[in-house]
Amino acid sequence: MVCTANDLQGWKDFPKGLKVLLLDGDINSAAETKAKLEAMDYNISSFYDENEALSACSNRPEDFHVAIVEVSTSSSQGGFKFLENAKDLPTIMTSNNHCLSTMMKCIALGAVEFLNKPLSEGNLRNIWQHVVHKAFNAGASVLPESLKPVRESVEFVLQLQTENGQHESKMLIDVDNMSKLSYSDHEHSTGSDKYPAPSTPQLKQGEQLHDGGDCQDQTNCSTEKESGEHDGDSKSVDTSCENLNTESTTQPIKPEKTLIKGEEDYADGCKGEIAVSLNPNNRKFLSKAGGNSTSSNKASVRDSCVIKANRKKMKVDWTPELHKKFVQAIEQLGVDQAIPSRILELMKVEGLTRHNVASHLQKYRIQNRQIVPREEDRRWTNRSDQMQRSYCAQRPIMAYPPYHPNHTLSPPPIYPFWGQPGSQTASVRVWGPLRYPLCQPFPVVHADAWGFPVLAPPEAPFSYIHNMGGLQNAKTVDYRFGVPQNSFEYHPAEEVVDKVVKEAMSKPWLPLPLGLKPPSADSVLAELSKQGISNITKDSSSS
């Protein structure tokens, strides 16, 4: 990623001072690892106890950039607890136990890499890659405090080269692309981005990450070019690390994010997109400002960035979060009053224009229209048929948690991410109904071959994996919802039904679940009488 000497000037000693949390129950191997790492100028904090390590990185998240955690063979929790709880820290798992399932478990639980013990020098030397990777590929919202300086630093360096000259543009990875990458990554992994990008080789049986795993050592990609005039302000990471100020005592906060990509033209006409925060309490991560980017004057940098970013029209990326706001606004207004300007007001998203909202609303309506098609004359008495057909045409209201004991048998229901905010964390943006094969938001992994579903989506609660009792009985588990499903029949819990009914009644403007039209009174009565219910306690319309 860094290809010229010039590029390196800001961080040629980058790993130096990088703060490594080392959790290893084995004192000897811990000492050994620590010594090796320190020889590489890493800054090691050793922990023997998992809980201590956890509380340390919880209390001082800024103190750690990356963690190396041993999978203890003795204790049952050994290391996994840390792995799961320190989600904001790129965590490398190590173990003497080289079995595949252990590795997979680590990776599935969010480890960025699994390294066999003993840790080779090459492995250790390159752990910084995970820091940079995380710093750039974590969604801005989940970027740990400790990584922000890294990111800013790297961005700054990259920015320098961008501004320096385009003569070597072929060699450069421009910040814009990184921004895009980061952005899209962020979209696909909402909660914690414990699922690393494919660029990290850890899923391939963990064997690639020998020294060859990274094609180049961080020191050897220089091209002998020395044309640095901007070096004065460039900061190495360890410097920036000193400027950390957050004292959060809880787990690193994941601020709500509302990101919008800004398009910006550069002097050379080259266009790029940068991510800007529309939320004032958010931090901007991609600095386009050329000047100093020390942590101390972040604010000014930030401001100038915003100004620069606002210079041009912004492309709104309707992230799930943004869309959620949008939907909430619409619900709040009611479908009748849902006009762009008011939605905009309710959304209270800085930088968002009425046009943006209007456009989005247009699409929203189109989608809604498509799934509330002319079913006018359809009778809800034809229920089975109805349900089958409209299965993938769910309304924004979730009827009840879907269950498909065998997804090859029953059509997997789709829950449009249009719909209920909070019903799911929509890292994948799905607009309304999908074609049938895509109806499943995520593929259900049959993990028989592996004995473990490694493709659990980021949304999958980790407890799901736990509940599997380790690695074995991985059946088809519907992990999309925290509700355990264990019945073959559609028997929605009463409270669920109640909830839906209540919701439907309180929000008459919303289409009904199950793709049903409001039945006429007649059809309702007919249906009820069919079911042997002759009397209903309804205030109007009856008898």
Q: Which residues bind DNA (CB under 7 A)?
A: 313-318, 339-342, 354-356, 358-363, 365, 429-431
Which residues are within 8 A (CB) of 28 and not within 5 positions of it... i.e. 6 or more apart?
A: none
Q: Are 72 and 46 in contact (CB under 8 A)?
A: no
Residue with tokens 């890294």, as numbered in its chain: 150
C-alpha to C-alpha distances, 511 to 173, 195, 363, 401, 419, nearest whole angstrom: 47, 35, 16, 18, 10
Smallest gap from Cβ 330 to DNA, in A, equals: 11
C-alpha to C-alpha distances, 13 to 64, 82, 90, 122, 217, nearest whole angstrom: 18, 29, 20, 16, 12
Q: Are 88 and 114 in contact (CB under 8 A)?
A: no
Q: Residue 354 or 507: which CB sits closer to DNA? A: 354
Q: Residue 173 or 428: which CB sits closer to DNA? A: 428
Q: Report how far residue 293's alpha carbon sits from residue 149's, in angstroms, rounded to the nearest whole number.
A: 9
Q: Residue 314 or 500: which CB sits closer to DNA? A: 314
Q: Residue 340 or 451: which CB sits closer to DNA? A: 340
Smallest gap from Cβ 366 to DNA, in A, equals: 8
CA 199 to chain centre: 16
And the tokens for 274? 């940068």
Q: Report how far residue 464's alpha carbon sits from residue 108's, in angstroms, rounded to the nearest whole number.
A: 11
Q: Residue 124 or 346: which CB sits closer to DNA? A: 346
Cα-Cα end-to-end distance for the chain: 76
Report residue 69: phi and psi, to 5°.
-125, 130
For 120, other C-beta atoms within 10 Å of its C-beta total: 15
Smallest gap from Cβ 159 to DNA, in A, equals: 22
Q: Residue 362 or 472: which CB sits closer to DNA? A: 362
Smallest gap from Cβ 368 to DNA, in A, equals: 11
Smallest gap from Cβ 185 to DNA, in A, equals: 17
Q: Residue 50 or 273: which CB sits closer to DNA? A: 273
And the tokens for 268? 């050379």
Q: Report how far residue 288's alpha carbon sits from residue 269's, in angstroms, rounded to the nearest whole number.
A: 15
Strand order in the sheet with 271-277: 271-277, 259-265, 314-315
Q: Residue 431 or 450: which CB sits closer to DNA? A: 431
Smallest gap from Cβ 260 to DNA, in A, equals: 8
Q: Residue 99 or 366: which CB sits closer to DNA? A: 366
Smallest gap from Cβ 177 to DNA, in A, equals: 13
Q: Residue 437 or 469: which CB sits closer to DNA? A: 437
DSSP conformation letters of 162-219? HHH-STTGGG---HHHHHHHHHHHHHH--S---S--TTSGGGTTT-S-SGGGSSS-TT
The upper half-sphere exposure of residue 37, i.e. CA atoms within 13 Å in the direction of its Cβ, equals 27
